[in-house]
Amino acid sequence: MSEIFTIALLFSTIRFATPLIFAALGGMFSERSGVINIALEGLMLAGAFTAAVITFETGNPFLGLLCGMIAGAVLALVYAVACIKFEADQVVAGFGINILMLGLPALLSGAMYDSAGSTEQIAKADLLPEFFGINIASFLAFLLVPVCWYVLYKTPFGLRLRATGENPAAADAAGVSVNKLRYTAVVLSGVLAAAGGAYLSIGQSSLFTRGMTAGRGFIALAALILAKWRPVQVLLACLFFGFTEALTIPLANIKTASGENVPVQFIQIIPYVLTIIVLAGFIGLSRAPKALGIPYRKEK
């Protein structure tokens, strides 16, 4: 019985960690370049909504995933233009994207399906496939970790990206187009975060519901800070947060001394409380890229 429980908990941890891995790796590229990405939540919602609509209309989950990633890229480009070209406050602009994506999918869903709360149910056969009980998106998320590590530490692009986030003036003097690289990094973060959102609607679930990311973009941001902006540590941090969310399932059956069930709301807030603790306790211990949040103006 304990072995079955352990295996079920492991599978649940992987399932819950998958969207966090995508979003946190995306945020890593953006923030390594020097652009704070508070917009991860909104980018995930864009990917989730677009993937659900395209998959329902075409019956092709891979096309839905691709279109979701494109939607994330387009929205991230809007965010990048605001922050890089017009030097908007990155935190404020990020929250603006998040607020936009809390309302826009509901508006579009209401116009398309006469339901502002959710899209139409997708047939089980049209969802992302599973192998050995694990969704294909989870395999992709885990595969991305060594790929991102290699790109970040073993390629010229990764070297320039890290230099741009640490000392953009020096990178510029070495011939690196700082703002161009930041655009690339932010758009890439949109692609990855949207992939995590798409998994929620066409992998873990079978439709898009309003606000279905439920703060996972911010949890991914906390995991990124806990991991000190490093790919392997990002994986471990996301697994930790995925484990805390997976624990809410068996803990839902805990009873008080009087025999009553503990209110489910107290169980469901556990991952979010841990997120606050991580942000409060580790944000000062993690050394962020030196140029993070600082617009770069090329000297003439």
Higher pLDDT, 139 or 296: 139
In this prediction, residue 234 has a pLDDT band, given cuts at 50, 70 and 90, of very high
Q: Which of 295, 288, 297, 224 is nearest to 80 (CA)?
A: 295
Give domain status of residue 84, yes or no: yes
Give domain status of residue 298, yes or no: no
Domain that holds residue 213: 2-282
Q: Is 220 within 8 Å of 196 (Cβ atoms)?
A: yes
Give domain status of residue 296, yes or no: no
**What total number of domains does the chain contain?**
1
pTM comes to: 0.93
% of the chain with per-residue pLDDT over 90: 69
Q: Give the mean pLDDT of the chain.
A: 90
Q: Which amino acid type is present at position 63?
A: L
In this prediction, residue 265 has a pLDDT band, given cuts at 50, 70 and 90, of confident
Instruction: Give residue-wise pLDDT tens across range 236-264.
Output: 999 999 998 888 877 766 766 666 776 77
Give domain status of residue 290, yes or no: no
User: In the prediction, which pLDDT does 108 show?
Assistant: 93
Instruction: Give residue-wise pLDDT tens across range 93-110.
Output: 999 999 999 999 999 998
User: In the prediction, which pLDDT does 143 show?
Assistant: 97
* CATH value at residue 145: 1.10.3470
Q: Is 84 within 8 Å of 295 (Cβ atoms)?
A: yes
Segment 45-71 mean pLDDT: 96
- Residue 294's Cβ-count burial label (10 Å; 0-12, 13-18, 19+) is middle
- In the predicted structure, residue 1 carries a pLDDT above the cut 60: no
Segment 225-240 mean pLDDT: 92
Give domain status of residue 263, yes or no: yes
Give domain status of residue 148, yes or no: yes
- In the predicted structure, residue 284 carries a pLDDT above the cut 70: no
Question: In the chain, which ranges are E strands?
Answer: 130-131, 134-135
Q: 205: which residues sit within 8 A by CB, 6+ positions away?
A: 212
Give domain status of residue 297, yes or no: no
- Written as six digits, the tokens of 269 are 């807030």
Give domain status of residue 293, yes or no: no
Q: Which amino acid type is present at position 143?
A: L
- Written as six digits, the tokens of 78 are 């809007």
- Written as six digits, the tokens of 207 are 């439709």
- In the predicted structure, residue 154 carries a pLDDT above the cut 90: yes
